[in-house]
């Protein structure tokens, strides 16, 4: 036998080398894909690698159904908080639904490697449950005094540009409403509900920075009927309660996309006072009732 010919690779040997090479390439591709995935990258519809983001959703209700871009999301909650992960950057639709409640819908902007917080408030379509207080009781009398003292905060025009917002508000609107985190002030002007960012340490939220530079004062909504009371929803600075006409409403501070607006109480002529624990006292004519938000 020719020694030279015996050293030539056979067809089987060539196939084995090709097979091993392909397996090696696949293994490297799998390892790279795992690293790509674990470091927070995903492929867009155009096969472009990009970092993912997430939504941190909290709600005043439990047992809710969440839809992301019209698709149901099955996730569990911790203290009414839901984390929706693996979301590519861009604008995404979020809907929160519960049978017998008004739906909550919002377009949420997702940035790479960032968690976007949202608060989904939903109320029963028939209104929140209330318990009537008995006239003459201490609780009734105390609630009546607090409601009577809950005077609508009205601004006497806009603050001068050379003055501190906080100092101007304190001097001119003594019954001003302040959010629980002390970052946002709430008041009215000419039947317009407005907020003002008063924090010296925290940057304004995204809805105040849709344009450059950021706004520090922003109208929330204009009401056709006289506004009787306003306050922040318990523990929040991004949801406002107000009474006008025959109802009490909740409304998003964020006006971008859908500005959610829901009635939570219908009556004849309601006024309200909200305790820090979220207990809402409602005076409607001679009747005073209590509701837990």
Cα dihedral 237, 238, 241, 242 sign: positive
Distance CA(115)–CA(56), nearest Å, equals: 6
Res. 1 pLDDT band, cuts 50 70 90: very low
- What is the Cα–Cα distance from 54 to 231, expressed in whole angstroms? 30
164 touches 196 (CB < 8 A): no
Handedness of CA 127, 133, 134, 135 (dihedral sign): negative
The pLDDT score that the predictor gives to residue 36 is 47
Q: Which of 41-55, 77-91, 171-185, 265-279 has the lowest mean pLDDT?
A: 41-55
Hey, what are 289's tokens? 């009732």
Beta bridge partners of 240: 232, 251
Q: What pTM was computed for the model?
A: 0.83
pLDDT at 13 over 90: no
The reported pLDDT for the residue numbered 27 is: 67
* Mean of the per-residue pLDDT values of the chain: 87
> pLDDT tens digits, residue range 175-202?
999 999 999 999 999 999 999 999 989 9
Q: Which of 126, 169, 69 is nearest to 265 (CA)?
A: 126
- Rounded average pLDDT over 70-82: 89
- Per mean pLDDT, which range of 8-12, 82-86, 211-215, 220-224 is the poorest? 8-12
- Sequence-distant (≥ 6) Cβ neighbours of residue 92 within 8 angstroms: 55, 68, 69, 107, 108, 109, 110
User: Distance (Å, rounded) from C-alpha 26 to C-alpha 3?
Assistant: 36
In this structure, of 78-87, 98-107, 147-156, 217-226, the range with the lowest mean pLDDT score is 78-87
According to the model, what pLDDT value does residue 60 have? 95
Sign of CA dihedral 121, 193, 276, 285: negative
- CA dist list (Å): 139 to 103, 134, 143, 280, 293: 34, 8, 6, 13, 18
What does the buried/exposed string (b/e) look like for 177-193 if buried means 16 or more CB atoms within 10 Å of the residue's CB?
bbbeeebbbbbbbeeeb
DSSP string, 1-32: --HHHHTSPPHHHHHHHHHHHHHHHHHHHHHH
Tokens representing residue 101 in the block: 């409640």
pLDDT at 12 > cutoff 80: no
């Amino acid at each position: 036998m020719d020694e030279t010919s015996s050293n030539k690779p056979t067809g089987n040997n060539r196939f084995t080398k090709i097979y091993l090479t392909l397996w090696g390439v696949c293994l490297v591709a799998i390892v790279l894909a795992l690293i790509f995935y674990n470091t927070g990258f995903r492929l867009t519809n155009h096969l472009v690698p990009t970092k993912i983001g997430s939504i941190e959703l909290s709600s005043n209700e439990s047992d809710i159904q969440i839809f992301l871009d019209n698709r149901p999301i099955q996730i569990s909650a911790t203290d009414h908080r839901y984390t929706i992960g693996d979301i590519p950057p861009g604008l995404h639709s979020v809907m929160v639904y519960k049978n017998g409640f008004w739906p909550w819908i919002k377009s949420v902007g997702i940035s790479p490697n960032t968690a976007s917080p949202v608060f989904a408030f939903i109320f029963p379509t028939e209104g929140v449950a209330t318990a009537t207080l008995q006239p003459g009781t201490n609780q009734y009398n105390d609630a009546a005094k607090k409601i009577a003292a809950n005077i609508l905060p009205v601004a006497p025009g806009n603050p001068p540009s050379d003055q501190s917002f906080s100092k101007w508000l304190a001097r001119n609107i003594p019954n001003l409403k302040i959010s629980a985190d002390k970052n946002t002030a709430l008041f009215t002007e000419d039947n317009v509900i407005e907020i003002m960012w008063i924090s010296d340490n925290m940057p304004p939220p995204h809805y105040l920075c849709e344009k450059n530079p950021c706004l520090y004062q922003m109208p929330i909504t204009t009401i056709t009927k006289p506004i009787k009371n306003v306050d922040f929803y318990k523990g929040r600075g991004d949801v406002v309660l107000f009474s006008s006409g025959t109802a009490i409403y909740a409304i998003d501070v964020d006006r971008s996309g859908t500005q959610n607006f829901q009635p939570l109480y219908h009556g004849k002529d309601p006024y309200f006072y909200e305790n820090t624990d979220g207990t809402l006292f409602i005076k409607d004519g001679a009747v005073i009732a209590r509701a837990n938000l």
